[in-house]
Amino acid sequence: MSARWVVLVVASAMSCHPRYTGEWMVHRPPGHTASNRACDRSQPDLAFLPADLVRAGFKLVEPPKRFVGDQLFDLIDGGAIQYFDYGFIWAVAGTYVHERGGRLTAELYSMATSAQALALFQARDVPSAERVDVGDGARMIEATIEVHDACCLLTVSSVEPGEKGRDLALLLGCLILSELHRE
């Protein structure tokens, strides 16, 4: 069996601590809220995709970009209509590199309500995806993790194939979610 990251979400700051083991695990602290900082904003904050993840080996290639309203078509041309059907408000997107190699894209989408975010997450379901206990629900599809968390959907994709890409996508996704839940 190949080793995988264990992501332990601990303490009120919900920081991620990866280490190798044979299983995925996520632990939420007592008092974990069903909301996050992104749910309180009508406009995107570029800090939702933090530049300073050096402690985990990640850094942004360039500042994240904002997408509000019809600008979503610039991010996901051809697939944006589905997001509008589920209450799309805004998105932020950025590209990260990891110190040990690997390039990843992160996209955070904010919907009007948590129920709409969940409905979109469920509508985009892929039956063959691996379920992962992150956020309010997540799935891995090859080297991409899709996470529903409160009013948001987070997608992190790695161009690195195989287990390394999966591990990097999961770790970066967890770190971004930790930042969203930090007070």
Q: How do residues 128-152 score in pLDDT, each as one tens digit?
A: 899 887 777 889 999 999 998 888 8
Angle formed at CA 6 by CA 53 and CA 96, multiple of 5 degrees: 30
Would 92 be classed as within a structural domain?
yes
Tell me which residue range forms the domain holding 69: 34-181
Would 61 be classed as within a structural domain?
yes
Would 173 be classed as within a structural domain?
yes
Q: Can you list the pairs that 119-123 forms with residues at least 24 positions away whose Cβ atoms lie under 8 Å?
A: 119/86, 120/82, 120/83, 120/86, 120/153, 121/146, 121/148, 121/153, 123/82, 123/86
CATH of the domain at 70: 3.40.1000
Would 165 be classed as within a structural domain?
yes
Burial class (CB in 10 A: 0-12, 13-18, 19+), 138: buried
pTM: 0.80
Would 130 be classed as within a structural domain?
yes
DSSP 42: S
Q: What is the pLDDT of residue 10?
A: 27
Residue pair 119/86 in contact by the 8 Å Cβ criterion: yes
Q: What is the pLDDT of residue 91?
A: 93
Would 26 be classed as within a structural domain?
no
Q: What is the pLDDT of residue 124?
A: 87
Q: Which of 113, 91, 95, 116 is nearest to 104 (CA)?
A: 95
Would 103 be classed as within a structural domain?
yes
Number of domains observed in the structure of the chain: 1
Would 20 be classed as within a structural domain?
no
Stretches in the chain below the pLDDT threshold 70:
1-38, 40-44, 183
